[in-house]
Amino acid sequence: MNLKVCWMYHDIMDLYGDKGNMMVLKKRCLDRGIDFTLDTCGIGQERDLSDYDLIFLGGGADKEQISLIPDLLARKENIKKAMDENTFILLICGGYQLFGQYYIAADGQKIEGLKFYDYYTDTGAQKSRCIGNIVIDANLDGIQTKIVGFENHGGQTLNVSKPLGKVLYGCGNSFDSGFEGFYDGKILGTYLHGPLLPKNPVVADFVIYKALKKRNPNLKFEDLKPLDSGFESKARQTLFDRFHIEN
């Protein structure tokens, strides 16, 4: 098997170590004997996104998001084609926001999104931010897991119909929502940086599984060869203990 990934706007949307997500996917694929191909897609670069098993778009500041919007919107039909052909999409922070209706930047500027989903992102009152460690309880197609990470966002994402998980510690989509991220089977969007996948091997393997299903529709999650995640488990347990959360 081969996992083919396109990392969009890798040169400007790489906030808080999002590169680590790609490093983890590559390592966990190669450890299973799964070939891993990583391509990047910058502004103005030609790519047929439907040719990939996974599309990744990370986080960036307002300036970076504004700079890529014309290019991103020009790719809307191609992204829709990829989604229709079962390309899985992983979105972190700014990437997550841009698949919604719009995002209001800290200076009040309205950044139009791809409008694939009804959620939208307003700016925090008096430029307040959600900052700190976060733990959520998520159900990924029947796989129950706690997801840990770090959030740092002024944007408050509202009208989220299908959240990724319930907040156990931290803020989430907005200060008082009680829920974090978005997951509908096609995309997984979240504010969890840190980066996300090194801290959450189950999520990393789930992303691999969802991406591989594009060309291997009969694949089951349990078909993935188990890997030793002892180091990650110890790191996660430290956080659970700190926040008095049962694993």
The pLDDT-based confidence of 123 (bands split at 50, 70, 90) is confident
pLDDT at 124 over 80: no
Q: Which of 6, 29, 93, 130 is catalytic?
A: 93
Nearest to 78 by CA among 101, 48, 51: 48
Q: What is the pTM of this model?
A: 0.96
Please state, in angstroms and as integers, the Cα–Cα distance from residue 34 to each residue in 2, 51, 177, following that order.
Answer: 5, 18, 39
Percent of the chain topping pLDDT 90: 86
Sheet (strand 179-180) strand order: 143-153, 130-140, 165-169, 179-180
The pLDDT-based confidence of 218 (bands split at 50, 70, 90) is very high
Element (DSSP H or E) covering residue 16:
none
What is the number of alpha carbons within 13 Å of residue 213 lying toward its C-beta? 20
244 labelled catalytic? no
pLDDT at 127 over 80: no
Strand partners, 136: 147, 167
Task: Work out whether the CA dihedral 3, 205, 234, 243 comes out positive or negative.
Answer: positive
When pLDDT is averaged across residues 79-99 and rounded to a whole number, the result is 97
Nearest to 180 by CA among 145, 142, 134: 134
193 labelled catalytic? yes
Strand partners, 152: 131
Give SS3 for 202: helix
pLDDT in tens, 20-55: 999 999 999 999 999 999 999 999 999 999 999 999
Sheet (strand 182-183) strand order: 35-41, 2-8, 54-57, 88-92, 187-190, 182-183
pLDDT at 16: 79
pLDDT at 126: 67
> Greater confidence, 126 or 16?
16
Averaged pLDDT score across all residues of the chain: 94
Please state, in angstroms and as integers, the Cα–Cα distance from residue 122 to each residue in 39, 91, 103, 149, 227, following that order.
Answer: 32, 18, 6, 22, 40
What is the number of alpha carbons within 13 Å of residue 212 lying toward its C-beta? 22
pLDDT at 60: 84
Nearest to 157 by CA among 180, 131, 133, 125: 180
Contact 150, 133 (CB under 8 A): yes
Task: Work out whether the CA dihedral 187, 113, 157, 244 comes out positive or negative.
Answer: positive
pLDDT at 83: 98
Other beta carbons less than 10 A from residue 194's beta carbon: 21
pLDDT in tens, 145-204: 999 999 999 999 999 999 999 999 999 999 989 999 999 999 999 999 878 999 999 999
Q: Can the peptide bond before residue 217 be classed as cis, meaning omega within 30 degrees of 0?
A: no
Residues 143 and 200: their CA atoms lie apart, in Å, by 13
